């Protein structure tokens, strides 16, 4: 007999998630975790000791956090560079993650539905397979960057390594099938040899036994790359369910956010401030910072600038900057070490974003209708910058050596000229499309529903 209101709630099935330990990967993964929690799953997040993200109270009651006892010293990332670090991390974690997962399977009273791993934590696939758990890849880059990586092997085999490597003329050529990307926009990294990059790409796009791929994008942004990946490359379901920061918010900052910049923004006029941030990994030399500062001063625009500790090679922070630097920035600028970026971008005073074009920053800027100046640093950022400028037409890419004249012109084009105003209108329209896509009936919303149904049936 069943007594109404007294029936036992069905146990939540558990999803195990494995983030790559960098800010730009932890944030979207935690947003995904929160989304799945709200859909009725229990959540276990398995982290490395390296760059361990300390969960706030908002997570601790509802989420389980487990640490892989890997022993990579903090200095490894800096000393090895991101690519060699990635190899080492995957090697180090393979066995210990298997042990962790085995224990989780034994301990869990509610059944584990699947393991979702960041594409760069590919060691997780083998452990999931061994524990007979379905596994799913989570890509935190754009689907276009993912698609580029997936054909890299073929391009490489067809002898296109020359344009990827050197000669300027060839680098400007368009890559067949990837309009409007040029060879120089391909997501190669400045941190390693082409051969090492190839190895990373083979590993990250190899679906192995994965049953599906989740991508933090929306089809209104990248429909042709999505079809290419779905129909020609992967042949397993691909779920574009983003932008996840518009689906579920999750406090995930590894650095302390300086909120005083919001008070400063409150005193500025609508669309009068350009926000400058190069994300969590990119570096900028002192001379480049000086050129940007001079260009900004000459443009007469107000600016909020994030200069992250350790982002100027050879300096702790800005203590090594020449004296003129403070003079140039004091008048119209505000500098912080780390900002509450989403709040900044949603502030009415912010009219433009000078960015390295990391995928999260790109999505956050489009999500608030803010056009961008694009100064990609490495990897997939070049793909995003090209899309911002030539596909969505809401960005101005600054290429080549940075000089104050170039900076001044780019800032004025975005913040003062009619051209910038047109970009702001297009960015606003894209923002509306993104909002619609995550609402009931929208493409990302539908995709998420399909994905949730899919993992319930696993
Ligand atoms: N971010 C932030 N405050 C800052 C600078 C960056 O909160 O002062 C966040 C930003 O909102 C984004 C992430 O850091 O979510 C950076 O990710 P992205 O993919 O843009 O670049 P990455 O750091 O991976 O190069």
pLDDT digits (tens, 9 = 90+) for 107-132: 876 689 999 999 999 999 999 999 99
Q: Is 35 in the pocket of ligand 1 (CB under 6 A)?
A: no
**Residue 80, number of CB atoms within 10 A of its CB:** 17
Ligand 1: distance of its center to the CA of 279 in Å? 4
Tell me how far apart the alpha carbons of residues 264 and 351 are, in angstroms, rounded to a whole number: 15
Ligand 1: distance of its center to the CA of 22 in Å? 10
Q: Is 23 in the pocket of ligand 1 (CB under 6 A)?
A: yes
Tell me the average pLDDT across 284-294: 96
Ligand 1: distance of its center to the CA of 355 in Å? 10
Counted residue by residue, the chain has a size of: 458
pLDDT, one tens digit per residue, over 322-346 is 999 998 898 899 999 999 999 999 9
Contact residues for 373 (Cβ-Cβ < 8 A; gap 6+): 274, 352, 353, 354, 355, 395, 396, 397, 398, 410, 411, 414
Is 445 a residue of the active site?
no
Q: Is 338 in the pocket of ligand 1 (CB under 6 A)?
A: yes
Is 118 a residue of the active site?
yes
Ligand 1: distance of its center to the CA of 31 in Å? 14
Tell me how far apart the alpha carbons of residues 70 and 95 are, in angstroms, rounded to a whole number: 9
Question: What pTM was estimated for this model as a whole?
Answer: 0.95
- How sure is the predictor about 51, in pLDDT bands with cuts at 50, 70 and 90? confident
**Quick one: which atom of ligand 1 is closest to the CA of 253?**
7
Tell me how far apart the alpha carbons of residues 458 and 453 are, in angstroms, rounded to a whole number: 9
What does the pLDDT read at residue 393? 98
pLDDT at 285 over 80: yes
Question: Which residue's CA is the nearest one to ligand 1's atom 24?
Answer: 24
What does the pLDDT read at residue 74? 77
Query: How large a percentage of the chain has pLDDT more than 90?
Result: 73
């Amino acid at each position: 007999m069943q007594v109404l209101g007294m029936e036992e709630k069905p146990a939540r099935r558990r999803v195990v998630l494995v983030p790559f330990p960098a800010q730009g990967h932890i944030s979207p993964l935690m947003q995904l975790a929160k989304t799945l929690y709200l859909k009725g799953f229990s959540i276990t997040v398995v982290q490395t000791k390296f760059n361990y993200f300390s969960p706030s109270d908002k997570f601790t009651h509802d989420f389980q956090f487990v640490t892989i006892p890997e022993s990579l010293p903090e200095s490894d990332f800096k000393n090895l560079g991101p690519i060699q670090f990635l190899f080492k991390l995957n090697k180090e974690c393979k066995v210990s993650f298997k042990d962790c997962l085995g224990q989780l399977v034994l301990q869990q009273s509610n059944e584990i539905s699947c393991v979702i791993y960041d594409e760069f934590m590919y060691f997780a696939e083998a452990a999931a397979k061994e524990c007979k758990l379905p596994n799913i890849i989570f890509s935190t880059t754009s689907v276009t960057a993912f698609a580029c990586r997936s054909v890299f092997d073929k391009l490489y085999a067809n002898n296109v390594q020359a344009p990827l490597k050197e000669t300027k003329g060839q680098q400007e050529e368009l890559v067949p099938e990837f309009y409007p990307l040029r060879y120089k926009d391909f997501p190669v990294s400045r941190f390693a040899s082409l051969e090492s990059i190839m190895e990373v790409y083979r590993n990250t796009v190899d679906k192995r036994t994965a049953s599906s791929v989740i991508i933090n994008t929306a089809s209104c942004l990248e429909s042709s790359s999505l079809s290419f990946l779905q129909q020609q490359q992967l042949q397993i379901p691909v779920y574009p369910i983003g932008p996840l920061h518009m689906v579920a918010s999750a406090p995930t900052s590894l650095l302390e956010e300086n909120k005083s910049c919001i008070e400063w923004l409150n005193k500025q006029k609508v669309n009068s401030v350009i926000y400058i941030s190069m994300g969590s990994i990119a570096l900028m030399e002192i001379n480049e910072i000086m050129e940007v500062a001079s260009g900004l001063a000459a443009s007469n625009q107000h600016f909020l600038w994030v200069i992250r500790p350790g982002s100027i090679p050879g300096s702790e922070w800005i203590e090594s900057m020449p004296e003129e630097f403070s003079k140039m920035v004091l008048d119209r600028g505000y500098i912080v070490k780390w900002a509450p970026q989403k709040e900044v971008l949603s502030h009415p005073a912010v009219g433009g974003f000078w960015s390295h074009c990391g995928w999260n920053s790109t999505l956050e800027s489009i999500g608030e209708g803010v056009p961008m100046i694009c100064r990609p640093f490495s990897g997939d950022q070049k793909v995003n910058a090209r899309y911002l400028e030539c596909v969505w037409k809401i960005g101005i890419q600054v290429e080549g050596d940075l000089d104050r004249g170039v900076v001044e012109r780019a800032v004025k084009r975005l913040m003062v000229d009619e051209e910038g105003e047109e970009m702001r209108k297009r960015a606003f329209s894209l923002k509306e499309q993104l909002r619609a896509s995550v609402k009931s009936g929208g493409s990302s919303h539908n995709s998420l529903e399909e994905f949730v149904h899919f993992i319930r049936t696993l």
